[in-house]
Amino acid sequence: MNDLKNYVEYAQPVIKAIRENHNEFCLLQYYTVSAEDLTVSQDLLEFMTETKNRPEHFSGNIPLVYAQYGEETGASIVLYLTPEERKNLSPEVTKVLAGEYHRERSQLLEEWDNTANKPVFILMDHEYYSDVAGFAPSDSWGGVRNNVGETIDFLSHTLGIPYLTIQDPYCGLEYHLDMMSQTDE
């Protein structure tokens, strides 16, 4: 899903300005992870390890955007899963993505089940506890989406740059994504 990568590239000047002038922890990165890279610890999803923690360390087929806005706890991720990639996930990872451990079970599980044969975006927020940290489906945005606009809006709002959304006709993001996807084909 190149829209995620194109969004990250488009937003980089804004992220760079924020890092230099306001928040040195602000970060927006595009990864391609594999199903094996996704692990679960105490019902939270993780994909980085001590030795595998930069975009160039990964070479899978699952697009992932990492949006960090705080030093330790402020981060979100978006995963783009096709039905084929969904089949490669471990049962533990599937339970976390489907929201079995988080949120009102019936709503998220229903969203997960209803999108089994469609590509989806999974919106996740970082959770930090005294003994574990990782990602869980976003309570405020819902976990499963099939709309790239809502996904990009989630990332922009997460980073505190709500002016860089699909709905804002003045930022040019929608035009940029359309133009970039035409050149990718």
Tens-place pLDDT, residues 97-114:
988 876 555 567 778 888
Q: How confident is the model over 119-128, as a mean pLDDT?
A: 93
Cα–Cα distance measured from residue 74 to residue 125, given in angstroms and rounded to the nearest whole number: 8
Q: How confident is the model over 51-74, as a mean pLDDT?
A: 89
**Rg (the chain; Cα; Å):** 16
Cα 131 to Cα 5, 17, 46, 134, distances in angstroms = 33, 34, 14, 11
Task: Read off the DSSP letter of residue 58.
Answer: -
Cα 150 to Cα 20, 32, 92, 141, 144, distances in angstroms = 28, 21, 26, 9, 10
Q: Provide the residue ranges of all domains of the chain, joining segments of one domain with +.
A: 2-184
Give me the pLDDT at residue 41, please: 93
Tens-place pLDDT, residues 6-32:
899 989 999 999 999 988 899 999 999
Q: How confident is the model over 120-149, as a mean pLDDT?
A: 88
0.85 surpassed by pTM: yes
